[in-house]
Amino acid sequence: MERLTAVEQRAPGRWQIGTVSVIKRETPRVKSFRIALPMWMPYLPGQHYDVRLTAPDGYRAQRSYSVASSPLDEGEIELTIDRLDDGEVSPYFHDVVAEGDEVEVRGPFTSYFVWRGEHPVLLVGGGSGVVPLMSMLRHRRRTMPDLAMRLLYSVRGAEDVIYADELGDDAVLTFTRSAPAGWSGHRGRIDGALIAASASSFTSGLAFVCGSNGFVEAATGLLLATGFEPQRIRTERFGPSG
Amino acid sequence: MSAFISRGFTGRRRTPTELAERLPPGQYAESGFPVLTAGPTPDVPTDTWRFRIDGMVARPQEWNWEQFGALPFETVPCDIHCVTKWSKLGTSFGGVSLDTLLPLAEPLGGYAMIWSYGGYTTNLAIEDLTGGKAWVVTEYEGEPLPREHGGPARLLVPHLYFWKSAKWVSGARVMDHDEPGFWEMNGYHNRGDPWKEQRYWND
């Protein structure tokens, strides 16, 4: 079994040119990009990278994306990007970037929404909010598979499940719009019943909640009601981005 | 500056020229007002709200909601810049200038740690809090400041990245030395000047 990577927060590196090695379509609007980095450094699950696009006339656009991979994947990072139709960075990644392309990135950044090996850990993700949580889940599976970590993952429909082929017994899904045929699990938004059934044994540990602001507000409200203390709940909310 | 060009990128969300010069490097104009908060949203009723200035001051001060509401009120038109890359241009807040509050306490040190309900902290030099640059605001665009944006009161320091504008603000502790606050300890820049693109450590 691989060992947990202990990493202290340190100043990130400079901008660097990575090479996209693998592109995986996760859902109709989400793709994962594996990027090989010449100046890779160890990171903590939950950290993000900045991406910078430069046009020939010098115009630039920057966005931040969470890393989805385990930091045991030395030399590369995986960024999972949701296509926002009115954005300019995510459509570029979806419509233009091909395997072998170079992209400019910088990171890893910030050490609040990060997992450092605490347990038990409850992960609560809405839509593409699952991305930084997947880094934690993947890292835990490879380092401490017996550590109590559970993912509650809210998605709209069966075709919207990111990392569908990797979700196992440690993941609890709920479908807010259309469940797949034969689905016997939870339907609808994350609610008090689902939290009570899935989260009550985790209140002595940490909860990581990531998604839209509305999702995070609703989920943190339910976690507080089930007994999580506010300081045991870490949140990451997306603004409108793109 | 690198000469790297992103293959096939032309930039389709460019800001009109007259607004573009108000955008610091690496920022884009956002019409909404995104909510980014580390942790749950605190609920701070105005009848228990207090704002204190203490630490290295000649006269520690504390205001309750009613007392605070009697202080000189200013409307503050401004552009705000979030380190997560969005900027909101041409917005406005209303509140009390730190130029009104700090002299009443008479700071004896050059730095302040701002603290908030919920435990958030952020550090600023007194220089960045004075000279018409910082307010404790209770209104956003003429309405009471919504809870998700820091209501009932937040700090407003529009010339620095917006994590310095602490939501649910509860006080300022004046110090004779600088210490990093919450995000400043967790990877963001100690000062955060958007025009110098001071986003992260070492920027």
> Are B82 and A239 a contacting pair at CB < 8 A?
yes
Nearest to A63 by CA among A104, A23, A22, A111: A104
User: In CATH terms, is domain A121-238 a member of 3.40.50.80?
Assistant: yes
Q: Is the CB of A8 inside 8 Å of chain B's CB atoms?
A: no
The answer to the question of residue B39 being in a domain is no
| CA-atom Rg of chain B in angstroms | 18
Is B28 inside any structural domain?
A: yes
B116 within domain boundaries: yes
Cα distance between residue A123 and residue A103, in whole Å: 30
In a domain? residue B1: no
Left (φ > 0), alpha (ψ -120 to 50) or beta: where does A86 sit? alpha
Whether residue B15 is contained in a domain is answered as no
Q: Are residues A113 and B187, on separate chains, in Cβ contact within 8 Å?
A: no
Nearest-neighbour CA in chain B from A237: distance (Å): 6
B13 CB-near residues (< 8 Å, 6+ apart): A61, A86, A87, A88, A242, B28
Which ipTM was obtained for this model? 0.87
Contact assignment for B188 to A15 by CB distance below 8 Å: no
Q: What is the identity of the amino acid at A137?
A: L
Work out whether strand A186-187 and strand B61-64 pair parallel, antiparallel, or are unpaired: unpaired
Classify residue B10: in a domain, yes or no: no
Residue ranges of domains in chain A:
16-109, 121-238
Buried b (16+ CB within 10 A) or exposed e, A123-162: bbbbbbbbbbbbbbbbbbbbbbeebebbbbbbbeebebbb
The domain that holds B170 is classified in CATH as: 3.90.420.10
Phi, psi angle pair for B191, to nearest 5°: -105, -50
The model's pLDDT over A158-208, given as tens digits with 9 standing for 90+, comes to: 999 999 999 999 999 999 999 999 999 999 999 999 998 989 899 999 999
User: Residue A110 contacts by C-beta under 8 Å, 6 or more apart in sequence?
Assistant: A47, A48, B183, B186, B187, B188, B200
Chain B residue whose CA is closest to A229: B40
The domain total for chain B is 1
Q: Which residues of B touch A13 (CB under 8 A)?
A: none
Give the closest-approach CA distance of A213 to chain B in angstroms.
Answer: 6
Asked if residues B46 and B64 have their Cβ atoms less than 8 Å apart, the reply is no
**Cβ–Cβ gap A60/B26 under 8 Å:** yes
| Percentage of chain A modeled with pLDDT above 70 | 94
pLDDT (tens place) for every residue of chain B, 203 residues total: 558 999 999 987 778 877 889 999 999 998 887 888 888 899 999 999 999 999 999 999 999 999 999 999 999 999 999 999 999 999 999 999 999 999 999 999 999 999 999 999 999 999 999 999 999 999 999 999 999 999 999 999 999 999 999 999 999 999 999 999 999 999 999 999 999 999 999 89
CB contact under 8 A, B201 and A12: yes
pTM of the predicted model over 0.90? yes
Surface of A (155-214) touching B: CB under 8 A: 213
Please state the CATH superfamily assignment of the domain spanning residues A16-109 in this structure.
Answer: Translation factors (2.40.30.10)
* pLDDT recorded at residue B20: 86
Please report the residues numbered 17 through 46 in chain A whose beta carbons come closer than 8 angstroms to any beta carbon of chain B: 17
Cβ–Cβ below 8 Å for A62 and B26:
yes
Interface of B with A in 33-52 (CB under 8 A): 34-42
Residue B182 belongs to domain spanning: 24-33+45-196
- Which residues of chain B lie closer than 8 angstroms to A53, CB-CB? 6, 9, 11
The contacts of residue A85 (CB under 8 Å, 6+ apart) are A91
- Residue B19 covered by a domain: no
Which residue has 């991979």 as its token pair?
A69
Mutate to test the interface with B, among A15, A50, A62, A220 (most CBs of B within 10 A): A62
Check pLDDT > 60 for residue A6. no
**φ and ψ at A90, to 5 degrees?**
-65, -40
